[in-house]
Amino acid sequence: MAKITTSTLLKMKQQGEKISTITAYDASFAKLFDQAGIHAILIGDSLGMVLQGQDDTLPVDIDHMAYHTQSVKRGVTDTLIISDMPFMTYATKEQAFTNAAKLMQAGASMVKMEGGEWLVDTIKGLVERGIPVCAHLGLTPQSVNVFGGFKVQGREKSQADKMIADAKLLEAAGAQLLVLECIPCDLGKAISAAVSIPTIGIGAGKDTDGQILVMHDALGISCSYMPKFSRNFLIDTGDIKKAIELYISEVSDGNFPGDEHIFVK
């Protein structure tokens, strides 16, 4: 597999090829996923929940993210590496510049931030300084206390319209990738059609340009519960590498997510 870049993912969207993405937090799993042919790896602040046993992602700090980014980088040859900017590390542009630099120096090829219109100036500034950005709309876990829990977003027309508008603004600001989490499938389809950058869904239906799962969910080893939008691929294969290859294949063929994994209005 050739080195995956943001240009690779954009070309895949343009050609109608599905993008497969998964989280990883260490070199061993990252190497296995890279060898299996995954297109992108996200070092997610989900590590707060799946590795640290926290109730949410808020306790994760920039040093945690840099450490795990360095670890993943050592296991990867071809896969694009994306690192989450954790809670309150990009509240101001200056914070964002400093903390994004730490993640890029740790080995990330792109940083991910949660939020809509308010991030426009920050994204512009990062891109001008050579830092690619993945935006994130829908259920943004760092805002869990504002939402009152982990709930599907965008079911009301006003909220859906705002999300589509935000997606266009984030693209115009320079974001090169967009994660859509826990939104109705029709909205996932509408946003994917409204922007030219690739969209990566997690609980956003099958019409996004790609999918992402937390590795612990995809392998059926999450310590809490299995989200509706996920699937245990390991139970079908009995082998971790084959499980990831199956995940990639099912996404590519349009078989995952299935109707049982999506949200409707």
Q: Is 181 in the active site? A: yes
Pick out the residues of the known binding site.
45-46, 84, 112, 114
**Cis before 59? omega within 30:** no
Pick out the residues of the known binding site for Mg(2+).
45, 84, 114
Cβ within 8 Å of residue 242, ≥6 positions away: none
Length of the chain: 265
**Residue 205 identity:** G
Place of tokens 């740790």: 106
Pick out the residues of the known binding site for 3-methyl-2-oxobutanoate.
45-46, 84, 112
**Bridge partners of residue 210, in order along the sequence:** 19, 200
Cβ within 8 Å of residue 84, ≥6 positions away: 42, 43, 44, 45, 46, 60, 65, 111, 112
- Of 23, 20, 21, the C-alpha closest to 221 is 23
Check: CB of residue 104 under 8 Å from CB of residue 111: yes
Check: CB of residue 25 under 8 Å from CB of residue 46: no
Catalytic residue among 17, 94, 117, 181: 181
Active-site annotation, residues: 181
